[in-house]
Structure formats: C-alpha cells, structure tokens
Amino acid sequence: AWLSRCVGRPRNAFRFAGTKDRCACTVQAVSCSGLHPWDLQQAVLHPEWPPMLFFSNLEMRPQGLGLGGLMGNRFDGVLRDIDLNLCGTTEGKATLESRFQRVAKHGFANYFGLQRFGSQRIRSFHVGAAILSKRFDDAVRLLLGDGSSLGQER
C-alpha cells in the first residue's frame, strides 16, 4: 500500500513473485508496468515513504512478475538456546555438524509463516506456540482455521 500510494499507482499495478510476512525483514522482487526509475526517485521523497523500504537491482524487463515466478527462497536462520554442553564435547560437535549438514543439504520447513497457511485471523506465533508446547492437535486445528483453542493452554 505504501509503494502504490507514494508512486501514485493503484495497488493492482504491482506484481509480486510471492507473499511476505509483514513482520519480517525480507527482500521482495516487484514489477510495475510502465514505471520508470525517476518515478521511484520521486516516491522516496513522498512524506509517507517508509524509512525501512529500500530499492536495489532495478532493471527494465518486458515481462512482469507473477506469483511463483521465482526459483525458490533463501532464508537465514538464527539458532538460539544451543546446549553449550553439546558444543564442548567431540561427540556433541559431531552431532551439531551432522545436523547442520542435513539442514544445508535438505533445508527445513517454514512452519510458522502466515504465507504458508493463508490465515490472517490466526497468527503464526499461535501455531508455533502450540507446536513448541507439544499441543499438536491444537496446532493442526489452528492451521485449519479453528481458533477455538486460543487462550486455552494446558
């Protein structure tokens, strides 16, 4: 909405290759037919321009983007709460290394993004909290849009 308002084009003039989590720091490819670089220069001067929105890799192309038009995603993950005792032993280091290699080779599922499930009513952190609390039945219900278990943690 910011981009369309600041550029002075309708929202449906912009095409995206995928959807993004509004709370994440992400990179997104966007196309807009007939939009020129000087239009973007003027847009960043608009009083409503969000300071956290940046442009890079601008180019003119004959075709616009479409949903699913890119070749996959790349995510940077942060590991927290690593058991330091595991890191301090040869066996623990080998275990961690094999797990990192498995993730590097196969990747991992992003279970927590709204874009994965399409629900705006049930936030991804509710699903994540249910999974982390081992309330798997609740997590599945939440994924299917049933919010009746919200606020009823056991």
Catalytic residues: 21
Residue with tokens 């039945």: 137
By C-alpha distance, which of 46, 64, 62 is closest to 6? 46
Count of other CB atoms within 10 angstroms of residue 49: 16
The dihedrals phi and psi of 29, each to the nearest 5 degrees, come to -85, 135
Q: Which residues pair with residue 16 across a beta bridge? A: 30
User: Using an 8 Å Cβ cutoff, are 32 and 9 in contact?
Assistant: yes
* Half-sphere CA count of 12, side-chain side, radius 13 A: 0
User: Using an 8 Å Cβ cutoff, are 55 and 6 in contact?
Assistant: no
